[in-house]
């Protein structure tokens, strides 16, 4: 049975039993505690925690999920995958244990001919919490299971909670016996490879007050309304029904394995290590495809880093399989075709997806080239030192600085006949992880307790009135100071204020929060920011300037009109530029993030190439044409399906309800889903002046612009600058570019002449340096202080001196640079090297005297430090090092 068919049967089953079919939320879900959606219940969490009232009594979904905690295990086991799909059915105070168990048994064991999944009832086992006699009795009565196939387990295995105070309850897991070929008999408590879990039924019936560990918590009370949360692993169910051994061999994954095997000339199933690499490729390509589809772009932090790591592991695995050239253009289309039956949006969005993926592969292949050069240098240093082991520190540097995977380092070292200090590498990696965890914990600890907001949200949603008015009355519903709920606040205190309704716009969708005043009688507050920490709750960040603020007080809320107008101008300008990008660059130039405040806007967009000066000028021109066209700007509410049918653009990572707000400019010139505030006519934007355009990550560009009066001010500054330069250079403004270009050319020519003169002057020092040299045990030592001379010039001088004495055993040392950044170069002749004098060893001695370090090859080496006053001491240190070597012979 195809995976898409299992998915369809699951949703149809629960749909015909009164469940609302809820589409999968994007992987980038609006939850500050998660990088990605990692469980089927995540989109329903506000309903389970009581923050929001569920709009339905029962629901079902197939949720896209990503987990990367066990990324190193991918490909090695049957059960570890980064992207997976979780089938779920949910009840919010409606049915409970009996119905959940009955639904699960019917769907799992009902015949395929009747539309069910068709598992053999005699191969189904279940587990229940050891104290849950009710669930055990229901399995006996509903499914007819004997006691031997109902196994009881402790809290670690069969109790669910979120790890924080909130709802929890016992769970019951459904397992399928795969047969004796997969392990010993005795049920899941004996072997969870033979007895594979496919479904977990959570009976959410208790409220926890304290959670110390998975199996250590305090129960406050029974929940007033009991809930059901279940999760069936779609991939696990698929590989059982498709008769394959693991999730990598199902119909949605295996085609990529087959293509990777074809490209590499490998045979799947012939070699364990190759099989693991092929599975990694298939899993990570699918995960990358789905993450990019949902709006993630490769980067160096958080979600972007996870995606980058997955894509780089694909490149690494293909290289370990023997493929050096790019492969994403072969692999990603195969994954798209395997997944599009379940996710048809992949096909129309593939141009954007592939552009981002292919650009990342190209960039990493360049990184690997640079890393290979550093690896070769490291190998030379290891061999030069007489060792056969690449240090853990060097392997870690290759990984951390150059993105060089450790597996590739191990393979290449083996090819060179070298070992790698893996233990040292792992230690450094663990230290890095520990620092990252400590930093994350510190940052987390400095945040405000979200439980306060959850408690306030439970009192009701904060209606936003700001589309229709900038002023309204409201009653103080809550006051938060330093993360704690208080009943009053005094002048001078910073507070977070919650009203029962407000005209203040909270920062969201890229638009900054409003500024303004909240006041009444002798109470006055200056509002400098507005946020929405949890869905449905608007929080005003303000300073009490006079009077005592108290809970229950009636106040007037007044938004700063100039601030709101500026914010509207910037937000509308963002929509205008977004449409201009589509028209100039193409439909794949999609918004990937934005921020706008009065006078300024920036927009990040998916685009794998640089934007030319001509394209930039066209974008700015088209945007200002749209502003001057005085397009009407309207907003209307409509069903999501209707908005999409009208061509309204949805932004990646945003979660939309059934009813959405569509902002239309020019009756379809621009049409986007948007909850922000806008001008009434595009002409109110005034003026738009692009300020910058640059890359902010692989496949992501950022465009910035000044808006309205700020745009005029910026252009006026630029005009004044041009006028001043034109006067200084005594040319007309339209001749300024040519005049500056001519001056730059003249400057470069002058620099070349100066460099030539400096070089010639340096060469006059060669003979005096040679004449001052002295012999030490048959080796000439020639040294010189060249204050102010650095870089290549210092090396040139040292090499020129060596050329003069090349026929003799000789060492040349020169110190230059500045007082705070001195440099030292040491070179040796062949005769000196025959006497075991190595430039790399000698320069280290000199560099230490300068307060630094150095190194290099036997014939030439360079170092530096931080104390140029020790130049003479550095030359003496080199002399002593020479003497030490020669005396020992």
User: Any idea what the CATH number is for the domain that residue 856 is in?
Assistant: 3.10.310.40
Determine the Cα–Cα distance for residues 775 and 773; give it in Å rounded to an integer.
7
Q: What letters, b where the CB count within 10 A reaches 16 and e where it falls short, cover 865-874?
A: bebbebbeeb
Asked which of 542, 559, 576 is the last residue of a domain, the reply is: 559
Query: Would you say how long the chain is, in residues?
Result: 889
Residue 80 assigned to a binding site: no
Predicted confidence band of residue 440 (pLDDT cuts 50, 70, 90)? very low
Determine the Cα–Cα distance for residues 143 and 137; give it in Å rounded to an integer.
10
Structural domain of 673:
564-716
* Residue in this structure with the two tokens 């589809």, named with its chain if needed: 293
Q: How many CA atoms lie within 13 A of 789 on its CB side?
A: 24
Residue 827: per-residue pLDDT: 96
pLDDT in tens, 133-186: 999 999 999 999 999 999 999 999 999 998 888 899 999 999 999 999 999 999
The mean pLDDT value for 550-573 works out to: 96
The reply to whether 70 falls in a domain is yes
Say if residue 329 is in the same domain as residue 361. yes
Say if residue 593 is in the same domain as residue 480. no
What lies within 8 Å, CB to CB, of 111 at 6+ separation is: 118
Say if residue 425 is in the same domain as residue 523. no
Residue 582 assigned to a binding site: no
pLDDT in tens, 703-760: 999 999 999 999 999 999 999 999 999 999 889 989 999 999 999 999 888 877 877 7
**How many helical (H) and strand (E) elements, i.e. helices and strands, does the chain have?**
25, 33
Which phi-psi region, left, alpha or beta, contains residue 258 (left: φ > 0; alpha: ψ -120 to 50)?
alpha
Residue 520: per-residue pLDDT: 93
Residue 123: per-residue pLDDT: 96
Residue 441: per-residue pLDDT: 47
Say if residue 437 is in the same domain as residue 542. no
CATH of the domain at 464: 2.40.30.130
Residue 450: per-residue pLDDT: 64
Q: How many domains does the chain have?
A: 5
Predicted confidence band of residue 447 (pLDDT cuts 50, 70, 90)? very low
Predicted confidence band of residue 93 (pLDDT cuts 50, 70, 90)? very high
Residue 242: per-residue pLDDT: 96
The reply to whether 750 falls in a domain is no
The mean pLDDT value for 602-625 works out to: 91
The reply to whether 745 falls in a domain is no
The reply to whether 756 falls in a domain is no
Say if residue 686 is in the same domain as residue 804. no
**Which residues partner with 629 through β-bridges?**
none
pLDDT above 90 (res 513): yes
Say if residue 505 is in the same domain as residue 413. no
Determine the Cα–Cα distance for residues 235 and 254; give it in Å rounded to an integer.
12
The reply to whether 759 falls in a domain is no
Say if residue 343 is in the same domain as residue 403. yes
Q: DSSP code of 670?
A: E
Residue 445: per-residue pLDDT: 38
**Which is it for strands 853-856 and 688-697: parallel, antiparallel or unpaired?**
unpaired
Task: Give the CA distances from residue 506 to residues 271, 481, 511, 764, in Å, rounded to whole numbers and listed in that order.
Answer: 57, 19, 8, 71
pLDDT above 80 (res 117): yes
The reply to whether 731 falls in a domain is no
The reply to whether 39 falls in a domain is yes
Determine the Cα–Cα distance for residues 161 and 167; give it in Å rounded to an integer.
6
Determine the Cα–Cα distance for residues 681 and 669; give it in Å rounded to an integer.
13
Q: What letters, b where the CB count within 10 A reaches 16 and e where it falls short, cover 554-590?
A: ebebbbbeebbbbbbbbbbbbbbbbbbbbebbeebbb
Say if residue 398 is in the same domain as residue 287. yes
pLDDT above 90 (res 800): yes
Residue 369, H or E segment: helix 350-384
Residue 448: per-residue pLDDT: 45
Residue 124: per-residue pLDDT: 97
Residue 655: per-residue pLDDT: 62
What lies within 8 Å, CB to CB, of 143 at 6+ separation is: 101, 105, 109, 121, 124, 126
The reply to whether 72 falls in a domain is yes
Residue 889: per-residue pLDDT: 80
Position with higher pLDDT, 756 vs 83: 83
**Which is it for strands 860-864 and 822-828: parallel, antiparallel or unpaired?**
antiparallel
Q: How many CA atoms lie within 13 A of 268 on its CB side?
A: 20
* Sheet arrangement for strand 600-606: 591-597, 600-606, 700-707, 688-697
Residue 403: per-residue pLDDT: 66
**Which residues partner with 66 through β-bridges?**
83
Closest CA to 547 of 489, 616, 593, 497: 489
Predicted confidence band of residue 397 (pLDDT cuts 50, 70, 90)? confident
What lies within 8 Å, CB to CB, of 813 at 6+ separation is: 781, 782, 783, 784, 798, 824, 825, 826, 842, 843, 846, 874, 875, 878, 879
Say if residue 581 is in the same domain as residue 503. no
The mean pLDDT value for 443-469 works out to: 76
Predicted confidence band of residue 110 (pLDDT cuts 50, 70, 90)? very high
Give phi and psi for 151, each to the nearest 5: -100, 140
Predicted confidence band of residue 654 (pLDDT cuts 50, 70, 90)? low
Say if residue 850 is in the same domain as residue 788. yes
pLDDT above 80 (res 261): yes
Position with higher pLDDT, 49 vs 197: 197
The mean pLDDT value for 467-476 works out to: 95
The mean pLDDT value for 616-626 works out to: 96
The C-alpha torsion from 869 through 871 and 873 to 875, rounded to 10°, is 180
Residue 515 assigned to a binding site: no
The mean pLDDT value for 4-19 works out to: 96
Say if residue 827 is in the same domain as residue 859. yes
Closest CA to 537 of 652, 472, 450, 636: 450
Asked which of 443, 459, 494 is the last residue of a domain, the reply is: 443
Residue 65 assigned to a binding site: no
pLDDT above 60 (res 109): yes
Q: 13 exposed, middle or buried (CB, 10 Å; 0-12, 13-18, 19+)?
A: buried
Share of the chain above pLDDT 70, in %: 96
Mean per-residue pLDDT over the chain, rounded: 90
Say if residue 553 is in the same domain as residue 658. no
CATH of the domain at 195: 3.30.930.10
The mean pLDDT value for 834-855 works out to: 92
Residue 35: per-residue pLDDT: 82
pTM: 0.66
Q: Return the minimum-mean-pLDDT range out of 102-116, 249-263, 311-325, 546-560.
A: 311-325
Position with higher pLDDT, 724 vs 378: 724
Q: DSSP code of 28?
A: S
Asked which of 716, 744, 779 is the last residue of a domain, the reply is: 716
CB 530 within 8 A of CB 513: yes
């Amino acid at each position: 049975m195809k995976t898409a068919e299992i998915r369809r049967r699951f949703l149809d089953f629960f749909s015909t039993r009164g469940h609302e079919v809820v589409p999968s939320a994007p992987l980038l879900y609006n939850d500050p505690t998660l990088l990605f959606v990692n469980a089927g219940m995540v989109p329903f969490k506000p309903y389970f925690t009581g923050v929001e009232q569920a709009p339905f009594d029962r629901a079902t979904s197939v949720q896209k999920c990503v987990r990367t905690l066990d990324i190193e295990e991918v490909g090695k086991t049957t059960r570890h995958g980064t992207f997976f799909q979780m089938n779920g059915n949910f009840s919010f105070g409606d049915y409970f244990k009996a119905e959940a168990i009955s639904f699960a048994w019917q769907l799992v064991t009902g015949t395929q001919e009747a539309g069910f999944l068709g598992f053999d009832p005699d191969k189904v086992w279940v587990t229940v919490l050891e104290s849950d006699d009710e669930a055990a009795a229901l399995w006996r009565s509903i499914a007819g299971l004997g006691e031997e196939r109902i196994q009881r387990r402790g809290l670690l295995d069969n109790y669910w909670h979120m790890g924080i105070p909130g709802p929890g309850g016992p769970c019951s897991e459904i397992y399928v016996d795969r047969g004796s070929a997969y392990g010993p008999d005795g049920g899941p408590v004996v072997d969870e490879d033979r007895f594979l879990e496919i479904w977990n039924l959570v009976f959410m019936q208790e409220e926890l007050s304290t959670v110390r560990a998975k199996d250590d918590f305090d129960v406050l009370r029974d929940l007033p309304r009991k809930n059901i949360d279940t999760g069936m692993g779609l991939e696990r169910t698929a590989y059982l029904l498709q008769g394959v051994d693991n999730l990598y061999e199902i119909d949605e994954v295996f085609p990529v394995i087959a293509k990777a095997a074809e490209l590499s000339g490998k045979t799947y199933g012939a070699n364990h290590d190759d099989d693991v690499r092929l599975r990694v490729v298939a899993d990570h390509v699918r995960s990358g495809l789905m993450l990019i589809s949902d709006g993630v772009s490769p980067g160096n932090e958080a979600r972007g880093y996870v995606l980058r790591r997955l894509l780089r592991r694909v490149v690494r695995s293909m290289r370990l399989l023997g493929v050096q050239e790019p492969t994403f253009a072969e692999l990603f289309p195969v994954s798209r075709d395997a997944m599009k039956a379940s996710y048809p949006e992949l096909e129309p969005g593939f141009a954007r997806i592939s552009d981002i993926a292919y650009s990342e592969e190209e960039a990493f292949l360049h990184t690997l080239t640079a890393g290979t050069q550093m690896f070769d240098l490291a190998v030379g240093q290891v061999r030069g030192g007489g060792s056969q082991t690449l240090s853990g520190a060097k392997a870690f540097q290759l990984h951390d600085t150059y993105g060089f995977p450790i597996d590739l380092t191990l393979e290449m070292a083996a090819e060179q006949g070298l070992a790698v200090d893996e233990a040292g590498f792992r230690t450094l990696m663990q230290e890095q992880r520990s620092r990252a965890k400590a930093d994350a914990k510190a940052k987390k600890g400095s945040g405000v307790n979200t439980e306060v907001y959850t408690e306030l949200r439970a009192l009701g949603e904060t209606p936003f009135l700001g589309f229709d008015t900038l002023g309204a009355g409201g009653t103080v519903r809550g006051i938060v100071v330093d993360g704690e709920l208080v009943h009053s606040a005094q002048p001078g205190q910073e507070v977070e204020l919650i009203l029962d309704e407000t005209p203040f716009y909270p920062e969201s969708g890229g638009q900054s929060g409003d500024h303004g005043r909240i006041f009444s009688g002798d109470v006055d507050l200056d509002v400098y920011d507005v946020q929405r920490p949890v869905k449905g709750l608007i929080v005003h960040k303000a300073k009490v300037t006079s009077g005592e603020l108290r809970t229950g007080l009636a106040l007037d809320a007044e938004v700063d009109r100039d601030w709101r107008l500026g914010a509207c101008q910037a937000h509308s300008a963002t929509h205008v530029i977004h449409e201009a990008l589509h028209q100039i660059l193409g439909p794949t130039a999609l918004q990937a993030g934005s921020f706008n405040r009065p006078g300024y806007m920036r927009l990040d967009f998916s685009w794998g190439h640089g934007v030319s000066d001509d394209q930039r000028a066209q974008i700015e021109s088209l945007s200002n044409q749209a502003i001057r066209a005085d397009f009407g700007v309207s907003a209307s509410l409509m069903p999501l399906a209707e908005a999409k049918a009208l061509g309204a653009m949805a932004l990646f990572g945003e979660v939309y309800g059934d009813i959405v707000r569509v902002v239309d400019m020019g009756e379809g010139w621009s049409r986007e889903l948007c909850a922000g505030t806008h001008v009434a006519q595009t002409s109110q934007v005034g003026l738009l002046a692009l300020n910058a355009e640059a890359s902010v990550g692989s496949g992501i560009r950022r465009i910035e612009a000044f808006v309205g009066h700020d745009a005029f001010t910026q252009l006026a500054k630029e005009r004044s600058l041009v006028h001043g330069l034109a006067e200084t250079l005594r040319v007309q403004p339209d001749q300024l570019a040519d005049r500056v270009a001519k001056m730059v050319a003249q400057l470069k020519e002058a620099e070349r002449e100066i460099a030539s003169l400096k070089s010639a002057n340096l060469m006059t020092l060669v003979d005096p340096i040679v004449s001052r040299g002295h012999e030490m045990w048959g080796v000439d030592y020639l040294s010189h202080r060249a204050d102010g001379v650095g870089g290549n010039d210092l090396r040139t001088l040292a090499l020129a001196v060596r050329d003069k004495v090349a026929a003799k055993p000789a060492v040349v040392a020169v110190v230059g640079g500045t007082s705070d950044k001195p440099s030292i170069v040491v070179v040796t002749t062949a005769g000196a090297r025959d006497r075991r004098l190595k430039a790399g060893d000698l320069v280290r001695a000199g560099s230490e005297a300068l307060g630094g370090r150095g190194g290099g090859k036997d014939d030439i080496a360079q170092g530096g430090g931080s104390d140029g006053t020790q130049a003479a001491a550095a030359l003496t240190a080199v002399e002593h090092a020479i003497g030490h070597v020669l005396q020992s012979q």
